[in-house]
Amino acid sequence: MSSSDKQLFDKVVFKRPESLVDVKTHFCPGCHHGIAHRIVADAIDHFGMREKTVGVACVGCSVFLYDYIDVDVVEAPHGRAPAVATGVKRALPDHFVFTYQGDGDLAAIGTSEIIHAANRGENLTVIFVNNTTYGMTGGQMAPTTMLGQKTSTSPYGREFSNDGYPIKMAELLAQLEGVAFSARVATSTPAQIRKAKEAVKTAFDMQIRRMGLSVVEFLSTCPTNWGMKPLDARNRVLGEMIDYFPLGIFKERKQADFV
Amino acid sequence: MSGVILGTAHREFVKGNEAICHGALAAGCRHYFGYPITPQNDIPEYMSAHMAGHGGVFLQAESEVATINMLLGAAAAGKRVMTSSSGPGISLMQEGISYMAGSELPALIVNIARSGPGLGGIAPSQGDYFQAVKGGGHGGCRIPVLAPHSVQEMYELTLLAFELADRYRTPVMILGDAIIGQMKEPYSPGLHEPPAPIDKPWATTGCVGRPRQHVKSLYLKDDDIERHNWRLHEKLQRVENAEVRAESYHLEDAKIVLVAFGTAARVCKTAIQWARKAGIAAGMIRPITLFPFPKALVHETAGRADLMLVVEMNTGQMVEDVMIATSHHDKIRFVGKPCAMPTPDDIFSEIKRLAGKTA
Ligand SMILES: Cc1ncc(C[n+]2csc(CCOP(=O)(O)OP(=O)(O)O)c2C)c(N)n1
Ligand code: SF4
Ligand SMILES: [Mg+2]
């Protein structure tokens, strides 16, 4: 290696976050769960909190969070991660506690738990991965499934007269007093990923400053169950999904209600 | 309750539900989660008034589903934790109880039982016996179940429940009912030593100076879940071998042996005293642990007794465990009173009737 090469390699500009375990994931090609995992690991590193973090995994394709993120993890029943995280946080108030949940998990079976954890202003961070379907169980309709979207349980496409409308959780949660931060991000372009990183860091910071519950909704892909190639899945997020689920920050508390 | 001096017979005059709270606080439980339901509201009310003073956490959840999962989280974080509820609420908790059994998390779950099925009523009942002792939740989970029959035992068995929960890494249930929960009588907290806190190196408390670890019940690889099932089974066998508790009441020479637990057993004691005065050799086995069930004692007693009379405040549930415990099925009789406490008269007349037949 020439000395100029060495100089080149001495300056690390991009590396695997320390909190991200160096193993192959089980995610399908083109699935964005892996990107969200990396962003979470990156934020844990950023705040130097790996040893003070307890993650709460949900039931869904991301249940193996504990194999990929190098922190202590509790596995919650389907939808109950915010309640489990409440128990962890009330027991260990000085620890950093986050949940990582899918849209079936958070926006269907677990709606009650997320609303009430949010309303109590639990100092938790919620990573919410919306891929408009139940990935793990084979692509059934979720509350976030788009109108007209065909899934294994909406074979003719979701129809509002039968199934209602796709639910916008980031906006809904932003209405609650206990929520300190609510944002929706995507991970389909480098610029979006940069913004997603910023949002997750802000969300973590809210918890550290005890401002209340912080939630970041990720618009994600499920090429396998959408029946799409990875690139088409990415494009679906950029077009159809962002059209209906706008990106942005819906709430950002500047000052804690209490100290 | 304050300033309990161990080894003294200092007495308190409280409801059974409150004695459970005293026991929990004495045992170092500082995390209570719950949702209101009659007839156990004294417990969350007491805890809401006293937890903060003990530096603990009281949290009223939005449902029993949330409750049991808060319990799961706080138990995973290594704390002594408890909740209390009744029929419908306990049903809602069953998924979480199964997860906790699968994840091997210690906790106390109190069921101050009411009548069912459905909304049923708030009258006392032992109709939750099957749900409590046969698992309740899915996937073959079973947890130890303790059945107090006095305010003294509401206190003592709370201490024992936390001890067993930690020793075997399992949720433990106390199965009471509306009578035992609402009844006031004196008890002595000083007679029993609270369980010492124990190390929980498995808890998810942040991976300081050690590799990350997990609390989970999912096992997908190869035959991991089969091994996990056998391991849990082996643990339950250790519980069955070491933790059976039952009271033998006038059993030595008894010809008519009652089998009853909780409030029903309390009434049986009076009926047995009356029977003894009337010259009938009656006695009782009172299971204190419903699971593990005192099978050996039941079997051995059934061998020498004339009749076994099972008394329950339901239409017949524990009687099936009595039948499993012994092959003397011809000796087994049952008297039940669903959704109400039988009177000593009810039971005494049944004893007399049976004594007349065997005489
Ligand atoms: C009580 C209960 N009901 C149903 C299931 C089955 N189940 C497992 S994962 C899942 C949906 C997962 O979808 P989502 O939360 O969107 O996660 P994804 O896999 O899409 O990331 C369902 C219904 C379960 N495990 N528990
Ligand atoms: S099924 Fe869908 S959500 Fe699950 S890993 Fe595959 S692409 Fe990702
Ligand atoms: Mg999904």
Taking only the tens place, the pLDDT of each residue in B233-289 is 999 999 999 999 999 999 999 999 999 999 999 999 999 999 999 999 999 999 999
The answer to whether residue B85 is domain-embedded is yes
Same domain, B292 and B346: yes
Distance from CA of B193 to the nearest CA of A (A): 25
Of the three residues B214, B242, B270, the one that is the final residue of a domain is B242
Whether A17 is covered by a domain: the verdict is no
CA A77 – ligand 2 centroid, Å: 19
What is the 3-state secondary structure of chain B?
Answer: CCCCCCCCCCCEEEEHHHHHHHHHHHCCCCEEEECCCCCCCHHHHHHHHHCHHHCCEEEECCCHHHHHHHHHHHHHCCCCEEEEECHHHHHHHHHHHHHHHHHCCCEEEEEEEEECCCCCEEEECCCCHHHHHCCCCCCCCCCCEECCCCHHHHHHHHHHHHHHHHHHCCEEEEEEEHHHHHCEEEECHHHCCCCCCCCCCCCCCCCCCCCCCEECCCCCCCCHHHHHHHHHHHHHHHHHHHCCCEEEECCCCCCEEEECCHHHHHHHHHHHHHHHHCCCCEEEEEECEEECCCHHHHHHHHHHCCEEEEEECCCCCHHHHHHHHCCCHHHEEEEECCCCCCCHHHHHHHHHHHHHHHC
Q: Kind of pairing, strands B12-15 and B184-187?
A: antiparallel
CATH number at residue A215: 3.40.50.970
Domain assignment present for B2: no
Among B242, B266, B283, where does a domain finish?
B242
Query: Does B4 fall in a domain?
Result: no
Total domains in chain A come to 1
Using CB atoms, which residue from B71, B79, B214 is nearest to A75?
Answer: B214
Cβ proximity of B85 and B132 under 8 Å = no
Domain boundary pick from B192, B218, B242: B242
Tell how far the Cα of A111 is from the centroid of ligand 2, in angstroms. Answer: 22
Of B63, B70, B204, the CB nearest to A54: B204
Q: Alpha-carbon distance A171 to A165, whole Å?
A: 14
CA dihedral over B246, B247, B252, B254, signed as positive or negative: negative
Q: Please indicate, yes or no, if residue A34 is contained in any of the structural domains.
A: yes
Size of interface A-B (CB pairs under 8 A): 129
pLDDT of residue B222: 83
Task: Return the CATH number at B173.
Answer: 3.40.50.970
In a domain, B5, yes or no: no
Kindly list the averaged pLDDT for each block of 10 residues, start to end, along chain A of length 259: 66 92 97 98 98 98 96 98 98 98 98 98 98 98 98 98 98 98 98 98 98 98 98 98 98 78
**A181 belongs to a structural domain:** yes
Instruction: Confirm whether pTM is higher than 0.90.
Output: yes
Question: What pLDDT is stored for residue A259 in this prediction?
Answer: 47
Q: Please give the residue range of the domain that contains residue B305.
A: 246-358
What would the mean pLDDT of B18-23 be, rounded to a whole number? 98
Shared domain for B22 and B42, answered yes or no, is yes
Check residue A13 and give its pLDDT: 86
- Residues B130-163 have pLDDT tens digits of 999 999 999 999 999 999 999 999 999 999 999 9
Q: What is the pLDDT of residue A256?
A: 75
- Rounded to the nearest angstrom, the distance between the alpha carbon of A106 and the centre of ligand 1 is 10
The domain tally of chain B equals 2
How high is the pLDDT of residue A2? 60
Residue B71's CB is within 10 A of a number of other CB atoms, namely 31
Q: B225 in contact with A at a CB cutoff of 8 Å? A: no
B260 and B302 share one domain: yes
Q: Do B137 and B274 belong to one domain?
A: no
Mean pLDDT computed over B56-69: 98
Residue pLDDT, tens place only, B68-112: 999 999 999 999 999 999 999 999 999 999 999 999 999 999 999
- In the block, tokens 């808060």 appear at B70
- What is the domain-level CATH number for residue B294? 3.40.50.920
